[in-house]
Structure formats: structure tokens, C-alpha cells
């Protein structure tokens, strides 16, 4: 990743498409395919702010600063990669986001009416700046490409609203269950929208213009994309990948686990290299995005590891030379 020169001013970009891929190299993924793609780093949501690091003719090299990552060399930074120029625009200052989409997806309309034209359909976890205008159960939001749109209030959660205690744990579990059946996608961080084929419209220079939809971005989640989005929809920011999530999550004993906590699994023979994360639902159940060509599912310790959680604890939570860790629900950084 290119280093910033002395006295160089930071440049920022903002995502203008509902979903954009962040790539390890400036190469497009295969479309409509759920095969594992090692060049896929993560996915960016509409309105996400990125730190500029370089560019070529068609791509920007960036850090996704809303998806924190940790490396021994760079310490904390945004998730690095390449994004298509057509999916972002440069901004001097992004508006402060005040609401987040809490359901699977939400339509953004041209008017406060679900019968009006759809500007776009955004995924869970998408954040907006609400202008303060409310009409008929809709709130007006600023759009990163310019102009305003309207979203249903029931699809949103105020970002200043902090849920706590049992209510938060219940919300985490209910949010996680919205992902059941969502395809596993390596580097995925989005939910497939139920709305298809709509005519998209954008505001440009204060005028409404019709445009064709972006080429379909394959949607789905990997294990840490699932946990990242579930917590984000509940106003808790956690890092992007499983190992770094494990780093910042306080470890607890198996009998202290509560719904909404996290379960981590190490690599074979490498107990301090975490390769998988799951959300604990209570009892013997957890929800996970496991591997390519599967979907998000509810599973149990006995079915996955061959023993119950209590039995696993008697062998130091080690199964098939993998270490299992129980982690307390992380709090906002």
C-alpha cells in the first residue's frame, strides 16, 4: 500500500453504488458466480467513506476506513484494496451519518411513497445522513451522488440509539437470523436484494435522471462479513476479519456465554490463528456462514464438532487440533 508523503493532504472517496467490490488487485470478479475468489477482499456499502491511496485509469487504491484491520506493520488501518472508479466519487467532507438500515434491505425512493420510483435498493448496514424531514412514515436522506431520497422509517435505526442488555442480545440474534439462507460468498458483506429489475434514478445537478443499473454485484457473506454486518446494524462497530475480531473480543468461559456472543475457531495446529467466527444463539446453537457453495445456517456444537459445548470444555475446547474460543459481545470502539 502506497505511503502518504510528508505534508500530503488526505483525500477521501465515498461509495455511490449500493454495493461495490473491494479487490486485492484491480481486476473484476467473475459475475454471478459463488466460487471462491482469492482476489476478493470485502464489499463496500453505499455511503462508506474510503481513504485514497493511489489510482490507475479505472481503479482507485483505497483503505475502507469503516472496516478496520490490523497488521503488525501498519497497526490499525482501514481494509486495503482496489475499487472501480465508477463506484465512488471524491469528497472534501462526508456528512455525518445518523441512521442505519436494520433489515435485510431497504428501498430508497424519489418521494415519501413506496409507489414512487426506486432510486436504489441498499443492503443491511448501510448508513445515511437523515436531513430531518419526515413525512408519512418516511425519512429523507442525503445521497452520496447528490440530492436526496426517502426511506421507510421502519427499515432504519437511529445511530445515536444505544440498545443495551437483554434487548441488545435479542436484537443481535434476530438480526443474525435474517441471514438464514443467504449464500456464502468469499469476501462477501451484503444481502441479496429481493427487488430486481427496477428502473434506477439519480439526482445529478439537482435534476432527476434515469440510468441503467450497475452490473450485478454478487451478494452474500463470509463468516466475518456476517458478524460485521449484524453488529453494524445494531450500532456496534467491529473489525472486518475473524482473526482481528478475535483480537478485540474479551475471552470468556463456555458457561458464561449468552446469546449474541461470538465463537471463534482456529486453524488446524495453529491455536492463535483464527479462521472462523460464529454467533452464539444460546444452548447448543450458533449461526454461521461456513464455506463456498453453502448458505448461512443454524448449527449445533454436537453436529459440527461431534461433542456438546460442555463436553468440549472438558478437553480445553480443542477439537481435531483446532482451538475454540468463547468471546463476549464486543462493544463499540
- pLDDT tens-digit map of 258-272: 999 999 999 999 999
Q: Last residue of some domain: 57, 73, 91?
A: 91
Distance CA 306, CA 189 (A): 30
Please state the separation of Cα 7 from the chain's center in Å. 33
Q: Are 271 and 265 in contact, with CB atoms under 8 Å apart?
A: no
Cβ count within 10 A of residue 72: 5
Domain assignment present for 77: yes
Find the distance separating the first CA and the last CA of the chain, reported in whole Å: 25
Residue 233 lies in a domain: no
Neighbouring CB atoms inside 10 A of 313's CB total 15
| CATH number of the domain within which 314 lies | 3.90.1720.10
% of residues, the chain, pLDDT over 70: 90
Q: Would you state the cell numbers that stand for residue 101, as one nine-digit string?
A: 438500515
Q: What CATH number should be reported for the domain holding residue 35?
A: 2.30.30
Q: Domain boundary residue among 37, 72, 91?
A: 91
Query: Strands, E, within 118-229: which ranges?
Result: 118-123, 127-128, 130-135, 138-142, 148-152, 156-158, 200-204, 207-211
The total of structural domains in the chain comes to 2
Q: Is residue 197 predicted with pLDDT exceeding 50?
A: no
In-domain check, residue 167: no
Name the residue range of residue 83's domain. 12-91
Chain CA centroid to CA 111, Å: 27
Phi, psi of 87 (to 5 degrees): -95, 0
Residue 203 falls inside a structural domain? no
Residue 47 in any domain: the answer is yes
Alpha carbon distance 71, 243 (integer Å): 11
The answer to the question of residue 141 being in a domain is no
Domain termination residue (choose one: 67, 91, 115) = 91
Other CB atoms within a 10 A radius of the CB of residue 114 amount to 13
Joined grid coordinates for residue 161 = 440509539
In a domain, 280, yes or no: yes
pLDDT in tens, 124-149: 999 999 999 999 999 999 999 889 99
Find out whether 202 and 145 touch, Cβ atoms under 8 Å: yes
Integer Cα distance of 185 and 300 in angstroms: 22
Contact 69, 79 (CB under 8 A): yes
Residue 5 pLDDT grade (very low, low, confident, very high; cuts 50, 70, 90):
low
The answer to whether residue 300 is domain-embedded is yes
Q: What is the pLDDT of residues 69-124, one digit of tens each?
A: 998 887 899 999 999 999 999 999 888 999 999 999 999 999 999 999 999 999 99
Reported pTM: 0.90
Residue 229 pLDDT greater than 90, yes or no? yes
Amino acid at each position: 500500500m502506497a505511503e502518504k508523503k510528508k505534508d500530503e493532504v488526505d483525500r477521501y472517496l465515498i461509495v455511490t453504488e449500493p454495493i461495490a467490490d473491494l479487490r486485492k488487485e484491480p481486476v473484476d470478479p467473475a459475475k454471478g458466480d459463488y466460487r471462491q475468489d482469492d482476489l476478493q477482499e470485502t464489499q463496500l456499502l453505499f455511503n462508506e467513506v474510503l481513504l485514497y491511496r493511489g489510482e490507475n485509469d479505472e481503479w482507485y487504491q483505497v483503505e475502507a476506513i469503516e472496516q478496520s484491520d490490523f497488521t503488525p506493520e501498519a497497526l490499525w488501518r482501514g481494509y486495503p484494496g482496489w475499487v472501480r472508479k465508477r463506484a465512488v466519487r471524491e469528497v472534501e467532507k462526508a456528512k455525518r451519518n445518523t441512521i442505519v438500515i436494520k433489515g435485510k434491505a431497504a428501498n430508497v425512493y424519489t418521494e415519501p411513497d413506496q409507489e414512487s420510483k426506486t432510486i436504489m435498493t441498499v443492503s443491511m448496514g448501510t448508513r445515511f445522513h437523515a436531513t430531518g424531514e419526515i413525512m408519512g412514515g418516511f425519512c429523507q436522506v442525503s445521497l452520496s451522488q447528490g440530492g436526496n431520497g426517502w426511506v421507510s422509517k421502519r427499515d432504519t435505526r437511529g445511530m445515536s440509539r444505544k440498545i443495551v442488555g437483554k434487548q441488545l442480545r435479542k436484537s443481535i440474534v434476530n438480526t443474525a437470523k435474517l441471514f438464514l439462507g443467504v449464500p456464502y460468498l468469499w469476501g462477501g458483506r451484503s444481502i441479496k436484494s429481493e427487488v430486481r429489475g427496477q428502473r434506477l434514478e439519480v439526482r445529478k445537478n439537482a435534476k432527476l435522471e434515469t440510468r441503467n443499473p450497475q452490473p450485478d454485484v454478487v451478494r452474500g457473506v463470509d463468516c466475518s462479513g456476517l458478524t460485521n454486518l449484524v453488529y453494524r446494524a445494531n450500532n456496534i462497530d467491529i473489525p472486518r476479519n475473524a482473526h482481528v475480531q478475535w483480537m478485540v473480543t474479551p475471552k470468556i468461559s463456555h458457561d458464561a456465554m449468552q446469546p449474541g456472543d461470538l465463537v471463534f475457531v482456529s486453524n488446524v495446529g495453529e491455536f492463535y490463528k483464527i479462521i472462523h467466527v460464529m454467533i452464539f444463539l444460546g444452548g447448543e446453537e450458533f449461526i454461521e456462514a461456513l464455506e463456498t457453495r453453502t448458505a448461512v445456517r443454524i448449527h449445533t456444537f454436537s453436529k459440527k464438532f461431534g461433542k456438546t459445548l460442555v463436553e468440549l470444555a472438558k478437553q480445553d475446547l480443542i477439537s481435531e487440533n483446532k482451538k475454540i474460543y468463547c468471546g463476549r459481545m464486543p462493544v463499540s470502539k
